Structures are given as C-alpha cells and as structure tokens.
Structure 1
C-alpha cells in the first residue's frame, strides 16, 4: 500500500481544515506506514477509540519525508517516515475512524469509490455523540435528532446477513442502515421483504478539473441565510400527514450546523430579489469533497439556478485543494442523469434502508 498515515484527534483535523495544513508540534509531523501505526497509537493514545487516521498520499507532499528511528521500545531497526514541514490538507485523500482492534479501510489515492465511501462512513462517526460497534461496522446515535436517519443508523461496510442487520437495528433502536459493501443488493432485497424500505443510491464522482461553466450567479452564504430555504424544502418533501411534521422539519434543519464541527462546510445559493431560490452544500474533508442537497424551489426551476450552484460548488472544492468531488443520487430518480451530463460518473452504489412502522409507512427520513 502506497499511503502513509497520521493519527490525530478529530478536533485537530478540523482546525487543520481551516488552516489549510496540520503543522508539526516540533520539527516534523510523525507519519506511519499502515503496519506501524498501532505503535504510536498505543504509546500516545492508549485505549482511545475516538481518533482519526489521516490517509496521506506521499506524492502530494512537497516538504522532505525522511525515514528515521522511532523511540526506545519500538521493534529493532524500525524506521518511521517524518515529514519536515506542515501536512497540507490537500494531501489527505481520506479520513477514517481509528477504532482498534477493528482494522481500518484505507483507500488508495486513485480509488474514487473508496474515497467516497470513506467520507460517507466516517463523517457520521466523527459527528455522533454515541458510537457502538456492530457486526460489519458501527451504529451512530444522537438523541438530539431522533427523526434524522443520517444521525441514527447502522453504517455497515463489511458483509453481514439480513438477520444480523435487523437484529443490530432492533437492539440499538436505530431506524435505518447504510449497506456499502459490494453485493449488498441481495441483503437489501431480503430486508425489503421483512419490514424495511430499500433505496439504491448511486455513488457518483467527478474530478474538480475541468471546472463547470457558469457559477457567477451563485454566492457563498452563511448557514442561517439558507435556513428558511431548507425549511421550506423539507416541508415540500415530507408527507403532509406525517405525525409531528413540524418537529421533524425542525430537527432536520437544526442538525445542519453539527456537520461543520467535523468538516469544512460551504453553503452556496442563488438569490432572486434577495430571497434564496436554489442552494447546495459542499463538505470538504481534505482532498475529497461531498456535494449535498442541491435543490431549486419549484417556481424557479428551468432557469439554470441549479447549474450555477453546482458550478460554484465544484469551483470551491478545487479552491480548497480537492481533486475529487462525490455525491449520492437515487438510482430510480432523474437527478442521476442531470449529474451525469455534468461530468459525474457512477463509481458504485450503496443501499439506504429504513424500517417501516406499523401500517407500512417509514419514519421521516433525513438524507
């Protein structure tokens, strides 16, 4: 494996995203090869399972990397790569949770699907106040937002059977699951026959270059400036007869600032007469960025507003040092074709599962 690793706290990484680099506390940033990282982890953070591993592409480093001895107690002759300079966030192709003894999945720099999955699986873990190990992955739970699937679900990256998924969800009282291993379609289909709703999401990726044309109409706004737009969008999307609909909408909108505590979040919008009529969100996590929630209000559709938002999002990702943008699109809905015409290619798929309530309805979802 060609990547190098750096172990740090989620807070240290979030600060580095703002600064553009993680700076060494001394003369160098201590890096490890995958087979070595357990040694500094045990020495510096014994028993900790709330850390992250930065997956570094050494080809993107401009300062010298020197193999040097570690400390007394390391195996004889072992040498570690030391970066003599700051670690640019643009050299970090993925950020994955460090939860020993579970081995981390470390994508290679050129593995677009692996990088996309690393972001979709690790961001909820970094954001959650409660993370539990389950067969095939973890469960994340946040009692502040019980109506949000994104904050309360199983995140499963390794194969398990349908019964195991159902049992883990019931045991931990989570209403949803994300199945992201190859061949998960069969498990999704089996769950769909026993009280679950299955949605295939296509993982679509695009390089940040070449840029998309346009974008001049779109502007970067603060999250409170798009809150009213998001609130109305959720009201349109959720069933009118949904129990506690106002509370559901409030939770789905209110959870948004939490994401910005673990990755860099940018809100982009097009305004007409001062009012937001289209918006989208960019989540930057090192060299990988995720596009979320591109939407135009019905009365403003067909005028290029979403194109302007998307173009500005891709440009922002490039300006942040990202070489890859990723998103998830419903395999059964038209936006997948809209994204494909703008250079996004399908790299794979995942399955979003939601437990049905009595009477066949699903709980309010929250993508």
Structure 2
C-alpha cells in the first residue's frame, strides 16, 4: 500500500502514517523479509518505539521467520505488530492463535482551518535530567491510573522508565512541556510540528488534584499553537478508544479520522 504523505495536495492527511512517523522519528527502519522493523535504541522493549509495520507476509511460517529475525535484531524481540488494510489476513489470525492481544487507537485531526485561541498558560519545555526525572513522576501517575482503569496489575516502574526514554529520544524534533506549581509538575503535553504539514499533540496529562479547572483545554491550546508555529496546518491527536479524553478532544474541535490496529504481546 502506498500512502500519501501528510500535507500533500489533493487530500486529507494520512493520519496513520503521521502517527507512525512521529513515534519512529527517534529510531531506524529496517527491511525484514516482508515487513519493516522500526527499532529505537533508547527503548528497545517499548512497543511504541520498536514495532513491526508494513507487514506483507503471506503465511504464518513467513511471519514466524520475521519475528525470529526481530529477536536477533532487538533484545526481547518485537512486542507490537501494526496491521493495516494491506496486511494479509493470515497475520492477525496467526497472532491471535499465538495469544497476542489486539489493540486499537483512535486518531483525531484538528483541521488547519480551525481557529484556536491563544493559551492562557506558558508551560516550560523539558530540558534537563532533573526535568525529565520530575516528568517521570507524572508518567508514573498516568500509568498507574490507566492500569487501575483497565483492572490490571500495575506495570513495573521499568516500563514507565522505558516510555520516558522513548519520548526523550524524540526530542528535539518534538518537545515536551510541563506546568509547574508549588515546585512540582502538575501537567504535561507534547507538540511536534511534523515533517509533512501535519503536526502532532501527545501526552496530555493533568495530575488528578489539578483537574476540573480547564487546564487540559489550555494545554491543548498551547500545544496546537506550538505545532502551528512550527509550520503545521492540521494537527493530529490520539486517544484510547475506551477512554474519556476522546470527548474532550472532540469538543475542542478535533474530528475522528481513523482507528489504528495493532497486536501486542507481553502486556
């Protein structure tokens, strides 16, 4: 399947391509016998940074060979396989037999024509080791809240550390910002201007004790402004299909565009 690059004349951005390029921007792409392995040395075990995509294997046996090759190239192997309209059905079928878990991600796009007021806050960019250590506390709170909502065991702290390492590897192309109050971080957001005309907003999180005061909306205004100042027109954001932030994003003006599908193991 040939995807049009986001921002090309004549159509809307391919949001799945934009999202993939965002998460793979800190790594490398390797052709692996009928698939592409995205490998991020900063977080080799994190499924958002190291994954298989463009999978075109025509049999279960060929897919097993690809996965075995990934074990040779990445410590612990590949934990996520992205499927799209051109992925042969046998891929998902075989992963299901092998007890991989299907996952979905909702992608929404704020049109380039959507006017967004200037933010009333000025989060500061993360730059130092201390900044990232404090941000890790927010990521940890986010992860624990998410695990509790899904009624599952809390992921280990090492998984949170890998998620933070992955994001830090995406800088300086993308920038993470934090809102600081009383000497601590209470909220964060990330912005990426993109490389094809479509930006990305990620990791909108407000600490529970700072919620219900409009801070999340201000973070969205700020991050969209940052992406557009860097040259973006439309702006992409992702949300879990079963979580409430998707409603906030829709009210803000983001429009549902696509649902991405993956299979993961080890979660």
| Aligned position for 1:153 | 51
Q: Kindly state the Cα deviation for residue 229 of structure 1 after the two structures are TM-superposed.
A: 4.5
| Aligned position for 1:348 | 258
More contact order relative to length (CA 8 Å, sep ≥ 6)? 2
When residues 213 and 189 of structure 1 are mapped into structure 2, their CA distance, relative to the original with a 3 A threshold, is: farther
| Aligned position for 1:37 | none
What do the CA deviations read for 1:54-107 (whole angstroms, capped 9, x no partner)?
A: xxxxxxxxxxxxxxxxxxxxxxxxxxxxxxxxxxxxxxxxxxxxxxxxx96333
What do the CA deviations read for 1:90-140 (whole angstroms, capped 9, x no partner)?
A: xxxxxxxxxxxxx963333343341x23323334555325623342x4112
Quick one: distance in 1 between partners of 2:24 and 2:164? 19
Q: Kindly state the Cα deviation for residue 253 of structure 1 after the two structures are TM-superposed.
A: 1.5
| Aligned position for 2:175 | 266
List aligned pairs for 1:174-189, cutoff 5 A. 174-181=78-85, 188=92
Quick one: distance in 2 between partners of 1:344 and 1:184? 31
| Aligned position for 1:256 | 167
Q: Kindly state the Cα deviation for residue 181 of structure 1 after the two structures are TM-superposed.
A: 3.0
| Aligned position for 2:140 | 235
What do the CA deviations read for 1:171-223 (whole angstroms, capped 9, x no partner)?
A: 31211122233788996576345311111111211124433346212324234
- Whether the aligned pair in 1 keeps the contact of 2:199 and 2:228 (CA below 8 Å) is no
**Larger fraction in strand:** 1
When residues 275 and 111 of structure 1 are mapped into structure 2, their CA distance, relative to the original with a 3 A threshold, is: farther
| Aligned position for 1:117 | 16
Tell whether 2:227 aligns with 1:317: yes
- Whether the aligned pair in 2 keeps the contact of 1:268 and 1:312 (CA below 8 Å) is no
Q: Kindly state the Cα deviation for residue 162 of structure 1 after the two structures are TM-superposed.
A: 8.0
Q: Kindly state the Cα deviation for residue 268 of structure 1 after the two structures are TM-superposed.
A: 3.1
* Deviates most, 142-151 or 292-301: 142-151
| Aligned position for 2:185 | 276
Quick one: distance in 2 between partners of 1:165 and 1:346? 32
When residues 308 and 242 of structure 1 are mapped into structure 2, their CA distance, relative to the original with a 3 A threshold, is: closer
RMSD of the alignment, in Å?
A: 3.1
* Deviates most, 180-189 or 215-224: 180-189
When residues 334 and 242 of structure 1 are mapped into structure 2, their CA distance, relative to the original with a 3 A threshold, is: closer
SS in 1 for 2:37: strand
Unaligned runs of 5+ in 2: 71-76
- Whether the aligned pair in 1 keeps the contact of 2:107 and 2:237 (CA below 8 Å) is yes
Q: Kindly state the Cα deviation for residue 160 of structure 1 after the two structures are TM-superposed.
A: 5.2
**TM-score between both structures, scaled by the size of structure 1:** 0.59
Q: Kindly state the Cα deviation for residue 317 of structure 1 after the two structures are TM-superposed.
A: 1.8
Q: Kindly state the Cα deviation for residue 354 of structure 1 after the two structures are TM-superposed.
A: 0.8
Quick one: distance in 1 between partners of 2:11 and 2:131? 33
| Aligned position for 1:289 | 199
Quick one: distance in 1 between partners of 2:204 and 2:230? 19
SS in 2 for 1:349: strand
- Whether the aligned pair in 2 keeps the contact of 1:204 and 1:348 (CA below 8 Å) is yes
Quick one: distance in 1 between partners of 2:174 and 2:121? 20
When residues 206 and 339 of structure 1 are mapped into structure 2, their CA distance, relative to the original with a 3 A threshold, is: same
